[in-house]
Chain A
Amino acid sequence: MRHWSWAIVWGLMSGVAMAQGGVLNLYSARHYPTDEALYSDFSKATGIKINRVDSDDAGILARLKSEGSASPADVILLVDAARLWKGEVDGLFMPVQSKILESAVPAQLRAKPADTGGTAWFGLSTRARVVVYDKLKVARQEVDTYEKLAEPQNKGRLCIRSGSHPYNLSLFGAMTEHLGPVKTELWLKGLVDNMARSPKGGDTDQIKAVASGECAVAVTNTYYLARLMRSSNPAEKAMAEQVGVVFPNQSSWGTHINVAGGAVARYSKNNDNALKFLEYLVSPEAQNHFANGNNEWPVVQGLKLDNPALKAMTGGSFKSELIPISAVGMNQIKVQQMMDRVGFK
């Protein structure tokens, strides 16, 4: 019985954060093990201990909403622009003023200035949503825009993950801004008609499906492809070599990008540490880490990118769309209802 009482005591105490300088409580939707180095480097450099909980975006927001003013969170990291916007709109973030952050992060990749003058959240890295295709069966011009994915020449070729996933919701939300809701719904219907199989699995599954011949065209985030290209597993590397990649809409509005970002929690008790951590995340070391660790693009301009896979994909640079993230966030429910109407699973 004594063991269990200890266990209970330990359990109850294990979560209690000591709110005396030297601690940072982090809620993170970044579930990439390669980020461990980020956190340990920060702790080593500053002596601040990081207490972390990983969850998915929506779970984190729900938790913050109910914890209210008693929330122990100091910094929140999310991986989808629409969710960052939602957190801002729901008042879960504390706008901060920081010259370092404001000069490092371009204006379109951070929140609009709040009435009090601060910024609610800052983008820390970006990822593009691109098209991969079977080089033998598909010509590059047939899939070089998002609109062409819905056209008849691609019938029976398309593999894409579930429409309800945040990455797709944001892409379709951006399309709604460019094309308007009526044309976007028709476009979604065209996608459904072109599917080789009903949506299953994640982005890497879609790439695998193209490589194995189950379908000929897929939509994926760049870092999944880059991960395969840099994998030490020969089978995965071969898979990446079999597919071609195109950054859509280079001659129109540019390729859709999504933003992973961070914010200081509204009721943070360790403001200074929180700000220190966010500023660390836009430092060259951390930004390089996003690039080389998880194959994302750093937000900081002028950084020398040392990622051969990303370089090979883009051949240097690419045109990315400039869309107000609030628009994407606001469209989310509309987009989900459009998908329900056209049968996009």
Chain B
Amino acid sequence: MMRLFRPLFRLSLWVVTFLLAMPVLTVLLSWLQWNGVSAQILWEMSQNVLPEYVRTSVLLCAGVSLGVISIGVVSAALVTLFDFPLRRTLEWALLLPLAMPAYVVAYAYTDFLQFGGPAQNTLREWMGLQGRVLPEVRSVWGAVCVFSLVLYPYVYLLVRAAMAERAHHLMEAARLLGAPLRRRILSVALPLARPAIAAGTALALMETLADFGVASYFGVQTFTAGIYKAWLVMDNRIAAAQLATGLLLAVTVLVSLEQRAQSRLRFATGRSDAQSTEARAHTLKGWHGLLAFGLCFVPVLLGFVLPVLLLCRALLESVQSMAVPWVRFVHWSLNSIVLGGVTALLAVGLALWLSSQARFNGTALTRGLLRTVGLGYAVPGAVIVVGLLLPLGWLQSVWPQSGAGYWLTATVLGLVWAYLVRFVAVALQSVGSGYARIPSTLDESARLLGVSGWRLVTTVHAPLLRKPVAVALLLVLVDVMKELPATLVLRPFNTDTLAVMAYQLARDERLGEAALPSLALVVAGLLPVILLSRTLGREK
């Protein structure tokens, strides 16, 4: 019976991968549709603006990597390896910026810190100065700060999960060999977390490259801006898709760098031994404890507390002029949560299935398929939309009775598909790094005991993957709730989400009204964050 299933599995693997990879494939195949108009557009752009776009994007990525790694690693290390005042609260508080859409954070800070904003006005009054007193928020460096503050939780989460499973026997051995604590951390614990750091940074960079909202609001001319320009202004989807291949190239480089880092280390660890003295966290006292607290509190303050306070301030200021539509808010929230939940379950299920298939039949082809799916995250949402709409538009014109065009946009089918294309990659990253921590020897032992195939996955892998799966569910849920470009274009009637409303109101320069869906988004995003933190805490 199993033998019948195997080719079926393999076929369905191909089908699923094809469906998920279709937008990327469409984009790559756009080079085949080379024509004079798109060629002229591309040539003109390469003469004038593309070099600058590339430079800006590279600078942005470098800055965000630095920011995200430093904040994520420092906070994860402090929280798992040490004990200091309020550590338990900070452990989950550090996840809070995950719930904030980058665009809203950008808007809140701009409103506050810009030339004519309250911060500079107050400073000018106090110091009796004229003109600009703070650096311009709306610049590449401002964007680096915003992205670092909003995206560091990716690194934090994955590094924390990795460090919580730190190889106790290795640390114990190092301790017995006389290595001081500092050396044990720097030479043993941190390197073990390197694949997690690489994975988290890759995710953060992919999200940075795919962003449009922050970059366009700040006037930062990234490569993605060029893609949107070709699509929306020049109205040439072919040129936009061809430019998008450049973006995909960058992401492929990122992904392969990360894969190489992972394979270089042997990160299979045994189960944590609570009896080991290393299992007890090192208590920090006095000003050490205070410093640790400060280092962990600052990201939470800047990435969550301050933006929320600024939003509340904006909301209160305009609450008199605005009739708050509570019923509609409930509707938007329900839409966001249901869409997010359904997509998260589907995405994690697919990721588990794809990863387990790759583990069992680890051919280069299967790995190649997985890598293609993993690229979906970096493709800008609007390019995924183009990648979906183009072939389906063709299908619609060639076979009108299929109603393909209708099913895509009049139901949530197209939207969930676009979400899956982007976010199965997120689930794959987490589940993949979780799988990487399970030694292959475990599989062999299980097979010797007669457990293989699907039973192997459910009885042996699943318990070990609980943490990565929880992480993946959370990341996908929150990401779907924050997602914007695909939702804007593909959502069916009466399916406004919180993210869409926050964006539309903020774009129309009504921050007071945008504050309410933004805050609702944050609150809704908080619940999975707290839930996740509880799950992770209980595992200890």
Is the CB–CB distance between A51 and B233 below 8 Å? no
Is the CB–CB distance between B406 and A58 below 8 Å? no
Q: Tell me, yes or no, whether A271 is within 8 Å of chain B by CB.
A: no
Chain A residues contacting B505 (CB-CB under 8 Å) are 33
Chain B residues contacting A52 (CB-CB under 8 Å) are 493-494
Chain B residues contacting A233 (CB-CB under 8 Å) are 317-318, 321
* Closest-CB distance, A292 to chain B (whole angstroms): 15
Contacts A15-B412, A231-B321, A233-B318 given; does A212 touch B342 at CB 8 Å? no
Contacts A71-B406, A200-B138, A336-B234 given; does A232 touch B320 at CB 8 Å? yes
User: How far is B118's CA from A274's CA once the two chains are assembled, in angstroms?
Assistant: 47
**Which A residue sits closest to B403, measured CB to CB?**
A70
Chain A residues contacting B232 (CB-CB under 8 Å) are 58, 164
Is the CB–CB distance between A66 and B233 below 8 Å? no
Chain B residues contacting A200 (CB-CB under 8 Å) are 138, 217-219
User: How far is B416's CA from A274's CA once the two chains are assembled, in angstroms?
Assistant: 29
Chain A residues contacting B115 (CB-CB under 8 Å) are 209, 212-214
Consensus secondary structure, chain B interface: helix
* Closest-CB distance, B407 to chain A (whole angstroms): 8
Which of A4-12, A133-141, A186-194 forms contacts with chain B?
Answer: A4-12
**Which B residue sits closest to A163, measured CB to CB?**
B233
Q: Tell me, yes or no, whether B404 is within 8 Å of chain A by CB.
A: yes
Contacts A14-B412, A51-B493, A62-B386 given; does A68 touch B396 at CB 8 Å? yes
Is the CB–CB distance between B233 and A336 below 8 Å? yes
Size range of the chain A interface in the assembly: 35 or more
Q: Tell me, yes or no, whether A144 is within 8 Å of chain B by CB.
A: no
**Which residue of the partner chain, among B318, B385, B493, contacts A53 with CB atoms under 8 Å?**
B493
User: How far is B512's CA from A231's CA once the two chains are assembled, in angstroms?
Assistant: 12
Q: Tell me, yes or no, whether B451 is within 8 Å of chain A by CB.
A: no
User: How far is B486's CA from A63's CA once the two chains are assembled, in angstroms?
Assistant: 11
Chain B residues contacting A333 (CB-CB under 8 Å) are 41, 233-235
Contacts A25-B493, A201-B110, A340-B49 given; does A345 touch B409 at CB 8 Å? no
**Which B residue sits closest to A59, measured CB to CB?**
B489
Is the CB–CB distance between B489 and A63 below 8 Å? yes
Contact with A along B490-510 (1 / 0, CB 8 A): 111111100010001101111
* Closest-CB distance, B516 to chain A (whole angstroms): 11
Is the CB–CB distance between A169 and B233 below 8 Å? yes
Is the CB–CB distance between B410 and A72 below 8 Å? yes
* Closest-CB distance, A147 to chain B (whole angstroms): 24
Is the CB–CB distance between B490 and A63 below 8 Å? yes
Is the CB–CB distance between B44 and A66 below 8 Å? no
* Closest-CB distance, B420 to chain A (whole angstroms): 13
**Which B residue sits closest to A60, measured CB to CB?**
B489
Q: Tell me, yes or no, whether B39 is within 8 Å of chain A by CB.
A: no
User: How far is B121's CA from A7's CA once the two chains are assembled, in angstroms?
Assistant: 49
**Which A residue sits closest to B116, measured CB to CB?**
A212
Q: Tell me, yes or no, whether A272 is within 8 Å of chain B by CB.
A: no
Number of A-B contacts (CB under 8 A): 178
* Closest-CB distance, A7 to chain B (whole angstroms): 5
Is the CB–CB distance between B410 and A15 below 8 Å? yes
**Which B residue sits closest to A54, measured CB to CB?**
B504
Q: Tell me, yes or no, whether B475 is within 8 Å of chain A by CB.
A: no
Contacts A33-B505, A70-B403, A213-B116 given; does A59 touch B488 at CB 8 Å? yes
* Closest-CB distance, A25 to chain B (whole angstroms): 6
Which of B61-69, B387-395, B524-532 forms contacts with chain A?
Answer: B387-395
Chain B residues contacting A43 (CB-CB under 8 Å) are none
**Which residue of the partner chain, among A15, A31, A63, A209, contacts B495 with CB atoms under 8 Å?**
A15
User: How far is B131's CA from A223's CA once the two chains are assembled, in angstroms?
Assistant: 28
Contacts A209-B115, A332-B233 given; does A162 touch B219 at CB 8 Å? yes
User: How far is B400's CA from A263's CA once the two chains are assembled, in angstroms?
Assistant: 23
Q: Tell me, yes or no, whether A88 is within 8 Å of chain B by CB.
A: no
Chain A residues contacting B385 (CB-CB under 8 Å) are 59, 62
Chain A residues contacting B339 (CB-CB under 8 Å) are 11
**Which B residue sits closest to A332, measured CB to CB?**
B233
**Which A residue sits closest to B513, measured CB to CB?**
A33
Chain B residues contacting A201 (CB-CB under 8 Å) are 110, 138, 217, 219, 509
* Closest-CB distance, A321 to chain B (whole angstroms): 22
User: How far is B390's CA from A103's CA once the two chains are assembled, in angstroms?
Assistant: 39
Q: Tell me, yes or no, whether A56 is within 8 Å of chain B by CB.
A: yes
Chain A residues contacting B509 (CB-CB under 8 Å) are 201-205, 224
Chain B residues contacting A67 (CB-CB under 8 Å) are 393, 396, 405-406, 408-409
Q: Tell me, yes or no, whether A156 is within 8 Å of chain B by CB.
A: no
Is the CB–CB distance between A11 and B410 below 8 Å? no
**Which B residue sits closest to A215, measured CB to CB?**
B115
Is the CB–CB distance between A68 and B393 below 8 Å? yes
User: Which A residues from 1 to 59 make CB contacts under 8 A with B?
Assistant: 4, 7-8, 10-17, 25, 31-33, 51-56, 58-59
Contacts A58-B231, A68-B400, A332-B233 given; does A4 touch B345 at CB 8 Å? yes
User: Which B residues from 320 to 357 make CB contacts under 8 A with A?
Assistant: 320-321, 338-339, 341-342, 345
**Which residue of the partner chain, among A16, A66, A162, contacts B411 with CB atoms under 8 Å?**
A16
User: Which B residues from 196 to 246 make CB contacts under 8 A with A?
Assistant: 216-219, 221, 229, 231-235, 237
Q: Tell me, yes or no, whether A281 is within 8 Å of chain B by CB.
A: no
User: How far is B453's CA from A117's CA once the two chains are assembled, in angstroms?
Assistant: 68
Contacts A8-B342, A11-B412, A66-B392 given; does A208 touch B405 at CB 8 Å? no
**Most interface-central of B41, B115, B400 (chain A CB within 10 A):** B115
Chain A residues contacting B457 (CB-CB under 8 Å) are none
Q: Tell me, yes or no, whether A250 is within 8 Å of chain B by CB.
A: no
Is the CB–CB distance between A209 and B410 below 8 Å? no
User: How far is B408's CA from A12's CA once the two chains are assembled, in angstroms?
Assistant: 11
Is the CB–CB distance between A7 and B338 below 8 Å? yes
User: How far is B509's CA from A14's CA once the two chains are assembled, in angstroms?
Assistant: 30
Chain A residues contacting B235 (CB-CB under 8 Å) are 58, 86, 332-333
Chain B residues contacting A198 (CB-CB under 8 Å) are 219
Q: Tell me, yes or no, whether A254 is within 8 Å of chain B by CB.
A: no
**Which residue of the partner chain, among A4, A53, A205, contacts B492 with CB atoms under 8 Å?**
A53
Q: Tell me, yes or no, whether A341 is within 8 Å of chain B by CB.
A: yes
**Which B residue sits closest to A36, measured CB to CB?**
B325
* Closest-CB distance, B319 to chain A (whole angstroms): 11
Is the CB–CB distance between A345 and B233 below 8 Å? no
* Closest-CB distance, A31 to chain B (whole angstroms): 5
Q: Tell me, yes or no, whether B283 is within 8 Å of chain A by CB.
A: no
Chain A residues contacting B345 (CB-CB under 8 Å) are 4
Q: Tell me, yes or no, whether B250 is within 8 Å of chain A by CB.
A: no
User: How far is B514's CA from A33's CA once the two chains are assembled, in angstroms?
Assistant: 11
User: How far is B116's CA from A16's CA once the two chains are assembled, in angstroms?
Assistant: 47
- Listed by A's residue number, 25 A-B pairs whose Cβ atoms lie within 8 Å are A7-B342, A11-B416, A14-B411, A15-B409, A15-B411, A15-B492, A17-B493, A31-B504, A31-B507, A56-B488, A62-B389, A65-B389, A66-B392, A66-B405, A67-B393, A69-B400, A69-B405, A70-B400, A70-B404, A72-B493, A200-B218, A201-B219, A333-B41, A333-B233, A345-B221
Pick the 4 closest A-B CB pairs, nearest first. Answer: A212-B116, A15-B492, A66-B393, A67-B405
List the interface of chain A (C-beta within 8 A of B): 4, 7-8, 10-17, 25, 31-33, 51-56, 58-59, 62-63, 65-72, 86, 162, 164, 169, 197-205, 208-209, 211-214, 224, 231-233, 332-333, 336-337, 340-341, 345
- Give 4 A-B pairs besides A332-B233, A336-B233 with Cβ atoms closer than 8 angstroms: A14-B492, A70-B396, A201-B138, A232-B321
